[in-house]
Chains A and B, each alone.
Chain A
Amino acid sequence: MNMTEYKQKRDSCRQKIASKYDILGFISSGTYGRVYKAKSKVKYDFQDNADDNKEYAIKKFKPDKEGEAATYIGISQSACREIALCRELHHENIVGLEEVLLEDKSIHMVFEYAEHDLLQIIGFHSHPERKFMSEYTIKSFLWQLLNGVAYLHANWVMHRDLKPANILVTANGVVKVGDLGLARLFYKPLQPLFNGDKVVVTIWYRAPELLLGSRHYTKAIDIWAIGCIFAELITLRPIFKGEEAKVENKKTVPFQKNQLQKIFDILGNPTKERWPTIDQQPEYPNLASFRQTPNVLRSLYQQWPIKSEQGCNLLAAMLEYDPLKRITAEEALNHPYFQEDPKPGLDSFAGQPVEFPLRRITNEDKDMRATANVQKTHPVPAVKDDRLTKRPRVDA
């Protein structure tokens, strides 16, 4: 039998996105699809500012197609994970999923809107005429990031792709961990993690156990990434800015020698004393080819704008080679660094003189056209998209 009748019934009662949201413009695109800024048509009377319609980021997934014929084969594993997890997670520091809508044969995830992200903020500060971030702001970002990740970890969720671009910040200075497309439950995985996605985490934030080919990685990989982000918030440039070895064929993962060298240059070579099970890592034999370097993290930190020794202790604890010794998110939240002044706050921007530019949105996209003419209210941002390449060296 066919299900025409059923489908017609369902199709007819589905609400149109345009009936609920005004599309304000296009924000960004990726392999997954495209993100748009939108505003609710409905006013939320129960909110304090009743006249303010809430803003959202609508993530529209590209259909998962396969092969030359481009047959539609259903929603992607990544969209599946993100929907499944975001639908369950509710936390102040995790980006909230308002609803999921179907239209135009695509999944649309409606997220709460965040005006900024750490990539944009770091980029803004790294402009030669601007200053470093205040310690209060850094500490507030870090604490809230850890708070969100501690919640994920307590719920057996690994993020697996923490990087500045995925850490969103609202106009009120609240951190929202975003992009759970790579995240997954690690409780009793039905498949070893390694079998699923051979490569996770953007290379600069990738933990040493991943770079050494570990098949049994844990939530500690997220903490390593947070350590890298912490250092980057302070210095405004990636702490381990390696070059990714290109994947030559899909079956094997290349050895990331350059990235490991960047890590060793600062932390010294990993030893059996520092990381007792290092000889069990698949790429362990490759370590013999590296030159011997000392651990210079502390002396490097001395040259950075933050002077707190506890800050350095926390950074070192997050950048611990041995994943078993690496500090957990929960422990990090209780680290003495957060007891010191300036104490972290809920509004990371509080008392800060900097006015960050608003997220740039455009009307160039032809897919989901802006339905409201509100562009005039959004100033053109001062920061361009070449932030990554044009960063001042601060430690040279």
Chain B
Amino acid sequence: MAANFWTSSHCTHWILDRRRVADAMKEDLEYVNIDTLTKIKMWYYNIIGKIGKRLQFRQQVVATAIVYFKRFYTKNSMRSTDPSLVAATCIYLACKIEECPQHIKHIIQEMKHALANLGGFDYDTSKVAEFEFYLLEELEFYLIVYHPYRDLTLIAKDLKLEESNLQTAWFVLNDSYRTDVCLFYAPHMIALAALYIICVVHAEQYNDNNNNNGGGSGHSISSGSGSSSNPNPMDDSGILGHNNSHLAQLNSANSAIKAPGAGGGSQNIPTSSSSSSEGQGINNRNMVQWFADLNVDIEEIIEITQEILSLYSIWKDYEEEQVPAMMQALKMEFDENYEPMTPQHETMQ
């Protein structure tokens, strides 16, 4: 329940096996490759995020809607369903569960607006309301979702993390919703991975860069961010929306991290330049030690970290304009004259 993740339905029913998620994607992957599918999904996550921003939801509402969307697609293919109806219904339901109910018409209006360039949104109130039943059923009526934001805030407090670092970690969490980590890992592990990214991996990159260009502001990684001077941790953007140089850094960081050896020690985590980071926002060596001392599976944190970082490399060449063509490829089955590339699949006739 709210006070105890370990007895929640999120923990007992919705931490999933990767195979199940992979199975759900099989049908779609006959039509588009994994990167394309990821980009199509990203596009829908962005739609949910945009609508959340326009209707001024808190980040948690957006996050819950995205988790509903993801959970739905662990049981269905995108090809055989309409993701825009699913997304609209996820937003509608998430608003109710997160205690910020919105009129169904507002959500439909926003969907129409957001989808104006991609086929529009042809559903009326009754269609979305009707679909809510199906969504509830797919979610097995488990509606309370845990998010890593609260864990991050608690850990940051404990660590006396600088505000700028907290905000960057917050952005990493926002980005994590573009990956499937919330289907596989407990929220506190995702929060730790976000911290790991900014404190260990990213700080490492930063320090290396800093050594070359002669010092920075002393505010570690988010100092170069184009975001406002008064960081708002409730901001719904990710790192990507703010500064592309972070993306580049995180991408190269991806190759820098390695899982620790079988002994589980932290010797493989680079610490060489930590001596030069004294006086900076994050004491790199202390953080490495802090992670090593945690009573959690550090390999799992590394897995999450890698998954988030690999998102950044896909995102690097994501272009919104390409999504309509991708969608068309995914939905080709609806062209009656279409001859599939994989004949064995079309034996239905």
Nearest chain A CB to B128 CB, angstrom units: 7
Q: Tell me whether B321 is interfacial, beta carbon within 8 Å.
A: no
Interface set of B (CB-CB < 8 Å, partner A): 1-4, 7-9, 58, 60-61, 76, 80-82, 85, 92-93, 96-101, 104, 125-126, 128-134, 136-137, 141-144, 150, 331, 334
Assembly CA distance A6 to B100 (angstroms): 29
Q: Which residues of A contact B134 (CB under 8 A)?
A: 6-7, 10
Q: Tell me whether A275 is interfacial, beta carbon within 8 Å.
A: no
Say whether A155 contacts B101, CB under 8 Å.
no
Assembly CA distance A304 to B158 (angstroms): 52
A98-130 interface with B by 8 A CB criterion: 100, 102, 105, 107
Say whether B80 contacts A80, CB under 8 Å.
no
Say whether A100 contacts B81, CB under 8 Å.
no
The answer, among B58, B81, B143, for a CB contact under 8 Å with A83, is B143
Assembly CA distance A87 to B136 (angstroms): 12
| 9-residue interface stretch from A23-31, A70-78, A239-247 | A70-78
Say whether B3 contacts A73, CB under 8 Å.
no
Q: Which residues of B contact A1 (CB under 8 A)?
A: 82, 331, 334
Say whether A77 contacts B142, CB under 8 Å.
no
Say whether B137 contacts A84, CB under 8 Å.
no
Q: Which residues of B contact A80 (CB under 8 A)?
A: 93, 96-97, 143
Say whether B99 contacts A196, CB under 8 Å.
yes
Q: Tell me whether A188 is interfacial, beta carbon within 8 Å.
A: yes
Assembly CA distance A117 to B130 (angstroms): 35
Assembly CA distance A196 to B60 (angstroms): 18
Say whether B7 contacts A90, CB under 8 Å.
yes
The answer, among A74, A184, A187, for a CB contact under 8 Å with B132, is A74
Assembly CA distance A155 to B146 (angstroms): 13
Q: Which residues of A contact B143 (CB under 8 A)?
A: 80, 83-84, 87
Q: Which residues of A contact B3 (CB under 8 A)?
A: 154-156, 187
Q: Tell me whether A5 is interfacial, beta carbon within 8 Å.
A: yes
Residue of B nearest to A99 (CB): B141
Nearest chain A CB to B100 CB, angstrom units: 5
Nearest chain B CB to A178 CB, angstrom units: 17
Assembly CA distance A239 to B1 (angstroms): 34
Q: Which residues of A contact B61 (CB under 8 A)?
A: 190
Assembly CA distance A10 to B138 (angstroms): 9
Assembly CA distance A84 to B96 (angstroms): 10
Q: Which residues of B contact A184 (CB under 8 A)?
A: 99
The answer, among A6, A83, A87, A188, for a CB contact under 8 Å with B80, is A6
The answer, among A102, A155, A185, A190, for a CB contact under 8 Å with B137, is A102
Say whether B1 contacts A88, CB under 8 Å.
yes
Q: Which residues of B contact A100 (CB under 8 A)?
A: 136, 141
A170-189 interface with B by 8 A CB criterion: 184-185, 187-189
Q: Tell me whether A289 is interfacial, beta carbon within 8 Å.
A: no
Q: Tell me whether A3 is interfacial, beta carbon within 8 Å.
A: yes
Residue of B nearest to A14 (CB): B137
Assembly CA distance A187 to B130 (angstroms): 31
Q: Which residues of B contact A75 (CB under 8 A)?
A: 96, 132-133, 136
Assembly CA distance A162 to B7 (angstroms): 25
The answer, among B8, B80, B96, B104, for a CB contact under 8 Å with A88, is B8
With A6-B80, A71-B126 given, is the CB distance from A185 to B2 under 8 Å? yes
Q: Tell me whether A200 is interfacial, beta carbon within 8 Å.
A: no
Say whether A105 contacts B8, CB under 8 Å.
no
Q: Tell me whether A191 is interfacial, beta carbon within 8 Å.
A: yes
Nearest chain B CB to A247 CB, angstrom units: 20
A-B contact pairs, 23 of them (CB 8 A): A1-B82, A3-B85, A10-B137, A71-B126, A71-B129, A73-B104, A74-B96, A75-B136, A77-B96, A80-B143, A83-B141, A87-B142, A87-B144, A88-B1, A105-B130, A155-B1, A156-B3, A185-B144, A187-B3, A189-B99, A190-B60, A190-B98, A191-B100
Assembly CA distance A279 to B31 (angstroms): 67
Assembly CA distance A85 to B3 (angstroms): 12
Assembly CA distance A85 to B7 (angstroms): 13
Q: Tell me whether A157 is interfacial, beta carbon within 8 Å.
A: yes
Q: Tell me whether A89 is interfacial, beta carbon within 8 Å.
A: yes
With A10-B134, A84-B143 given, is the CB distance from A155 to B128 under 8 Å? no
Q: Which residues of A contact B144 (CB under 8 A)?
A: 84-85, 87-88, 185
Assembly CA distance A125 to B128 (angstroms): 49
Q: Which residues of A contact B132 (CB under 8 A)?
A: 74-75
Residue of A nearest to B2 (CB): A156
Say whether B126 contacts A72, CB under 8 Å.
yes
